[in-house]
Amino acid sequence: MFKLWISIKKDIRILLRDKVGISLMFVMPIILVVVVTSIQNSTFQLVNKNKLPIVICNTDTGKASTQFIESVNKIGMFTVTQTSKDKAAAIASDMESKDALLGVVIPSDFSKVVNEKAKNASDKAMAAFSGQADSVKAGTPKPAVSLSALNLYYNPVLQEQLRFSIQGAIQSALQIVQTRQTLRTLYYDSNEKELPKSLENEMLNSSTTINMLPTSKDGTRTTPNASQHNVPAWTIFAMFFVIMSLGGSVVREKVSGSFIRLKTLPTNYLVGLLSKQLTYLVVTLIQAVIIFSIGICFFPVIGLPPLNLPSDLFALFLVTLVCGWCAVSYSICVGVFANTQEQSNGFGAISIVILACIGGLMVPSFAMQGIAKTLTNISPMHWCLEAYYSLFLQNGKLSDVLNNIGSLFIITVIIQIVTYLGLKRKNLI
């Protein structure tokens, strides 16, 4: 124990004097988590709270186009600015001058086509109501009329997911215009008088409200925010970032003369590796405490949503401990197999980015398909992220994350065995 304690003291001293290593392990991840959460929070707000500026150039003179613009306004997702019809060809420059991310040009025959389509649908309906014999009275339905395509211009900065939401919203505005006109025509054709406004509203506004309810393990309905999503994910990334200091430390020791001397002393090198594991395990726990504390205390100060810790703190500690142990084991493994510090740092940095990618830190794992989905299971970050999400987003308990902890533990043990075999093969123990 004395040898282990002295070794830990030695490792702590070396670590504290490695300013670059400390900044890589603590400062960089903190910057990363603040920046990424801020960016993601702005995206959340852009979609949920802020309105997207849209420029509409109406080249049509009919009523349908005016109704369409009203419908777009009523969606509540856009701030509509209208521009003169002569600017249809230069909509892109008009978007830029008005700081709009979206632009729509309503074609000049928009109302005419909407009316014709409504009339056509009404005629078909009348023919169906009155039977074939009365088809002459009802009028012969005309061939189907298709609405000219509505061009929706967008700034390429808009992500695909957001673009699909916008497209859906514009489509629903169009649908309202078309349905309203069809109802009016049909009513007029059958009753020979205008559709009463109250009935029109009743028919058009009868859609069922959709309530968005987050699921949780304990039945609570806390809406997740950018902090709940990002802080746990980037904490995992930070823990694996210890490779930049620890991997290099193992290589330095291995290639420096001190290793030869260590081999001639009556102590097994495994004591040295155990010391490094314990020292850096504490480092990963400190990283987690610091990043979580920033999420809780500092985020509200800079206008970000605060991080809410899960109710099962023991489960949170256990997940963090096993994740830290896995990160440390992986770093030592890379250090044992690397021949130079450059190899360790280069491979280490790239490999943790790859593990983060396939582990779902950068792209959600549920969005992955095929081999990428399978590869997810071999990334320790995936199991840790699943456990964190279960705790942070669904307020899960220890029993909900035991499966993830088990998988993480198995991966860690495999890494330890590979490290041991590497040490044997390289004649280091």
Partner 1 sequence: MAITGALAINIEHMGFRYPDNDKVSFADLNLQVAKGTRFGLFGPNGAGKTTLMNLMTGVLSVTDGSIKLLGKETGEQNKEVNKLFGFVPQDFSFYHELSPAENLEFFGAWAGLSQKEITDRTNELLQILGLEDVRNKPVEKFSGGMKRRVNLAIGVVHNPQVLFLDEPTVGVDVQTRTAIINYLLELNKTGTTLIYTSHQLNEAEDLCEEIAMIDEGKIITQGHIDDVLKAHNHESLEELFINLTGKAYRN
Q: In the beta sheet, which residues pair with residue 125?
A: none
The rounded distance, in Å, linking the Cα atoms of 250 and 265 is 18
- Residue closer to partner 1 (CB basis): 142 or 424: 424
Instruction: Identify the residue among 133, 144, 157, 265 touching partner 1 (CB under 8 A).
Output: 265
Say if CB 269 and CB 423 are below 8 A apart.
yes
| Residue 340 interacts with partner 1 (CB under 8 A): yes or no | no
CB of residue 311 to partner 1, shortest distance in Å: 43
- Residue closer to partner 1 (CB basis): 12 or 145: 12
- Which element (helix H / strand E) includes 293? helix 269-293
| Residue 133 interacts with partner 1 (CB under 8 A): yes or no | no
CB of residue 14 to partner 1, shortest distance in Å: 5
* Residues 151-190: x where in contact with partner 1 by CB under 8 A, - otherwise, as a string: ----------------------------------------
Q: 177, 335, 323: which is closest to 251 by C-alpha?
A: 335
- Give the torsion sign (CA, 285, 287, 292, 294): positive
Q: Which two tokens mark 233?
A: 């994910």
**45 Cα distance to chain centroid:** 14
| Residue 143 interacts with partner 1 (CB under 8 A): yes or no | no
CB of residue 378 to partner 1, shortest distance in Å: 33
| Residue 256 interacts with partner 1 (CB under 8 A): yes or no | yes
| Residue 3 interacts with partner 1 (CB under 8 A): yes or no | yes
| Residue 1 interacts with partner 1 (CB under 8 A): yes or no | no
| Residue 116 interacts with partner 1 (CB under 8 A): yes or no | no
Q: Which stretch binds partner 1 (CB under 8 A): 3-11, 80-88, 116-124, 343-351?
A: 3-11
Alpha-carbon distances of 380 from 237, 288, 363, 411, rounded to whole Å: 11, 17, 15, 7
| Residue 19 interacts with partner 1 (CB under 8 A): yes or no | no
- Give the torsion sign (CA, 11, 239, 327, 356): negative
Start-to-end CA distance of the chain, whole Å, equals 19
Q: Which stretch binds partner 1 (CB under 8 A): 82-90, 166-174, 255-263, 334-342?
A: 255-263
The rounded distance, in Å, linking the Cα atoms of 350 and 36 is 19
| Residue 424 interacts with partner 1 (CB under 8 A): yes or no | no
Q: Which stretch binds partner 1 (CB under 8 A): 99-107, 205-213, 251-259, 299-307?
A: 251-259
- Residue closer to partner 1 (CB basis): 158 or 271: 271
Alpha-carbon distances of 228 from 197, 224, 233, rounded to whole Å: 47, 6, 9
- Which element (helix H / strand E) includes 134? none
Count of chain residues binding partner 1 (CB under 8 A): 25
Q: Which stretch binds partner 1 (CB under 8 A): 32-40, 195-203, 261-269, 300-308?
A: 261-269
Instruction: Identify the residue among 215, 264, 314, 371 touching partner 1 (CB under 8 A).
Output: 264
* Residues 266-305: x where in contact with partner 1 by CB under 8 A, - otherwise, as a string: xxx--x----------------------------------
Q: Which stretch binds partner 1 (CB under 8 A): 116-124, 263-271, 311-319, 348-356?
A: 263-271
| Residue 427 interacts with partner 1 (CB under 8 A): yes or no | yes
The rounded distance, in Å, linking the Cα atoms of 354 and 332 is 18
* Per-residue three-class SS string for 205-272: CCCCCCCCCCCCCCCCCCCCCHHHHHHHHHHHHHHHCCHHHHHHHHHHHHHCHHHHHHHCCCCCHHHH
Residues in the chain, total: 429
Q: What are phi and psi of 53, to 5 degrees?
A: -70, 130
The rounded distance, in Å, linking the Cα atoms of 55 and 99 is 9
| Residue 20 interacts with partner 1 (CB under 8 A): yes or no | no
- Which element (helix H / strand E) includes 104? strand 102-106
- Residue closer to partner 1 (CB basis): 14 or 282: 14
Instruction: Identify the residue among 45, 258, 339, 340 touching partner 1 (CB under 8 A).
Output: 258
| Residue 257 interacts with partner 1 (CB under 8 A): yes or no | yes
| Residue 332 CB neighbours (<10 A) | 25
Say if CB 283 and CB 243 are below 8 A apart.
no
Q: Which stretch binds partner 1 (CB under 8 A): 205-213, 250-258, 304-312, 356-364?
A: 250-258
CB of residue 373 to partner 1, shortest distance in Å: 42
CB of residue 330 to partner 1, shortest distance in Å: 24
The residues that touch partner 1, with contacts defined as CB under 8 A, are: 2-3, 6-7, 9-10, 13-14, 17-18, 256-268, 271, 427
